[in-house]
Amino acid sequence: MDIIYTIWLRNIKRYLRSKSRMIGSLGMPVFFLLVLGFGLNSVVRIPRMEQGYTGFIIPGIVSMSVLFTSVFSGIQIIWDKQFGFLKETLVAPVSRIEIMIGQTVGGATAALIQGFIIIIVSLLMGLHIPSIHGFFIAVLFMILIGLSFTALGIAIASRMEDMHGFQLIMNFVIFPIFGLSGALFPIDSLPSWLKFLPRLDPLTYGVEGIRYGLLGTSQMAPLISFSVLVGFMVLMVTVGAFLFRKISI
């Protein structure tokens, strides 16, 4: 457990000391929240949504912040490769699985902090969370999203050497995942022949879980969302651990 804690602590310290990274990671979510939220709130009507379109997209923007921060934390692996830190870590008498878990938990924690900041901004915009239990449900789903996509980022970074290539691949993968998740639109509004796509997207279940926690309503049963996301998290951590064990320096 010591190595997991040490790797986690290192990642958190690097994150907290990098003010530009924190502010930069908030740019797009806050832009979406303010521009889409206020710009379309009087135009778009969401059935059974008392808090309007702004309230509807808040869970999606929270998940967006967690998603982007967590998946791009995988770039730390490539950075450590290039500067020799990973080599020093891997030759130490510790398990590679512990190193990978430490990296995953560290990236997920940073993503969770980003999600909390968006929730605070949303509260200032008028978000009303129905209960304290709902808040903790949302936090639970934020943790699952963070762990899942940090592990995905680590899995891909384990097979790459170039940071720019990693960013391009992540953009190619992440934007469709976010776009199909129902973060910005109700998935029930899609044509029947397209409705299966969001259900194949793991982030959809995270968005709906956060939406249930923050707003008390969801287009999917919370237990189903939880089960699917836990299964995806286990899969990603397993794949990430396997690929990280194969990493060569």
pTM: 0.89
How confident is residue 38, by pLDDT bands cut at 50, 70 and 90?
low
**Segment 169-196, tens digit of pLDDT:** 777 888 889 888 888 888 777 777 777 8
Residues 108 and 70: beta-carbon distance below 8 Å: yes
Q: What is the DSSP letter of 104?
A: H
Count: domains in the chain? 1
End-to-end CA distance of the chain: 24
Which of residues 3 and 177 earns the better pLDDT score? 177
C-alpha 91/C-alpha 164 separation (Å) is 27
Domain enclosing residue 95, as ranges: 2-245
Q: Within 50-91, where are the H helices? A: 52-71, 75-83, 85-90
